[in-house]
Amino acid sequence: MLISLIHNLKNYMYKKINIPFNKPTLVGTEKKYVSIAIKSNMLSGDGKFSNLCSSWIEKKLSIKKVFLTPSCTASLEMAAMILNIQQEDEIIMPSYTFVSTANAFVLRGAKIIFIDIRPDTLNINENLIEPAITKKTKAIVVIHYAGVSCEMDKIVNISKKYKLWIIEDSAQSILAKYRNHNLGSIGHIGCLSFHGTKNFTSGGEGGAILINDESLIEKAEIIREKGTNRSCYIRGAVDKYTWHSIGSSYLMSDIQAAYLWAQLKVAKLIQIKRLELWNNYFISMNCLKFFGMPIYPQYCKHNAHTFYLKCKNRKDCDSFIQYMNKKKINVTRHYMPLHLSPAGIKFGKFFGNDVYTTQISKKLVRLPLFFNLNKKDQQHIIYKVYKFIDNYK
């Protein structure tokens, strides 16, 4: 079967085309819902579509309270304010992540304690968390890389033992699971992204904050509304609203929520398509000794957010990227380790040894994977991967 697949691929004639790394998900009904939002005259936050989207996420992911936000970055910033992160507090997180994961806490004056990742899932190494805890530690931030879960049972036990907050940076992991739990529903707070590179988008930018600890809901509501109790006023619970705490403007426009609603309504379809593309890559490349494949523990359900390959070393990775880009297929690396960046050096420190973080950042390459990637284009990509290996010395 494998031989026939290779044969088909080799015989696959294809015109020269550009295949981007990503195209934002587009299902076709976005305009319809955006037009309805425009006609409603309720364009500001928490309109009809915002409520539809937040209720959908609450139900689907079993979350106590969901607020839509302008981005996952904004959600993380909110999380740091809600948890009252202060100057000198220490926050534990992996270095292999996006800048916003750290920046949100640095904005409050906290120090970031970076620790190494696991070589299999590329997630925070749960066994290295406990030794990094000090009297100043306030929270653990986990990132479920590529929609594959961190080892949450162990992390939850550590957080209980030391009374630490857990924030799940679930930017990449909507609808993925750890055992029977939805990612984003396990920590005290979860943060989602609806950026144009994510499985679902609210028109390019967008996010949500997921509050799982009931005691934090009211605080979240106030911080999100510029530090005021405006939400109480809108519900009719008070006759005027006023300034209560620090906060900022963290609402999503209802036009963006309408765009997102079009996609959440067909979430199942989007996920089926993404998983099909992910599985096609996996099945056709698993036999190649040249690359390491993504690894996910059997009890984790990933969400096909990203498909990556691990090259043996930086040289192979550079050559592969160069070859694919020359063939007009846009493949790309991912995070540069935060602890080596100028801001990471200033605002954080790496605890223990960097055994895998830097190594992985040099060897990992992501292939195009998006909802409107058609099967022919994907076969073309796979064919070119095979061609690269055939020709590589």
Ligand X SMILES: Cc1ncc(COP(=O)(O)O)c(C=O)c1O
Asked if residue 210 lies in contact with residue 66, where contact means CB atoms within 8 angstroms, the answer is: yes
Smallest Cα–Cα separation from 241: which of 226, 230, 231? Answer: 230
Alpha-carbon gap, residue 390 to 312, rounded angstroms: 16
Mark the segment that binds ligand X (CB under 6 A) among 15-23, 83-91, 96-104, 240-248: 96-104
The correct pick among 24, 184, 207, 348 for binding ligand X (CB under 6 A) is 207
117 DSSP β-pair partners: 124
What strands lie across the sheet with 300-301, from one edge to the other? 181-182, 177-178, 300-301
Q: Is 100 in the site for ligand X (CB under 6 A)?
A: yes
CB of 232 to ligand X, least distance (A): 28
Cβ proximity to ligand X: between 33 and 250 the closer is 250
The correct pick among 143, 277, 364, 385 for binding ligand X (CB under 6 A) is 143
CB of 168 to ligand X, least distance (A): 10
Mark the segment that binds ligand X (CB under 6 A) among 66-74, 123-131, 213-221, 250-258: 66-74
Cβ proximity to ligand X: between 73 and 137 the closer is 73
139 DSSP β-pair partners: 91, 165
The correct pick among 50, 54, 95, 97 for binding ligand X (CB under 6 A) is 97
DSSP 389: H
Cβ proximity to ligand X: between 54 and 73 the closer is 73
Cβ proximity to ligand X: between 203 and 383 the closer is 203
Mark the segment that binds ligand X (CB under 6 A) among 95-103, 119-127, 134-142, 150-158: 95-103
Q: Is 305 in the site for ligand X (CB under 6 A)?
A: no
Site residues (CB under 6 A) for ligand X, limited to 154-183: 169, 171-172
Q: Is 189 in the site for ligand X (CB under 6 A)?
A: no
| Residue 179, amino acid | R
Cβ proximity to ligand X: between 195 and 310 the closer is 195
Asked if residue 390 lies in contact with residue 377, where contact means CB atoms within 8 angstroms, the answer is: no
Q: How far is CA 46 from CA 190, 236, 300, in A?
A: 19, 15, 33
Read off the tokens for 383: 């064919």
DSSP 332: B
Q: b/e per residue, 363-380, with b = 16+ CB within 10 A?
A: bbbbbbbbbebeeebbbb
Smallest Cα–Cα separation from 97: which of 49, 131, 145? Answer: 145
Q: Is 195 in the site for ligand X (CB under 6 A)?
A: yes
Alpha-carbon gap, residue 132 to 105, rounded angstroms: 17
The correct pick among 25, 50, 101, 361 for binding ligand X (CB under 6 A) is 101
Q: Is 123 in the site for ligand X (CB under 6 A)?
A: no
The correct pick among 25, 50, 71, 125 for binding ligand X (CB under 6 A) is 71
Asked if residue 224 lies in contact with residue 207, where contact means CB atoms within 8 angstroms, the answer is: no
Interface residues with ligand X (CB under 6 A) are 71-73, 97-98, 100-101, 143, 169, 171-172, 193, 195, 207
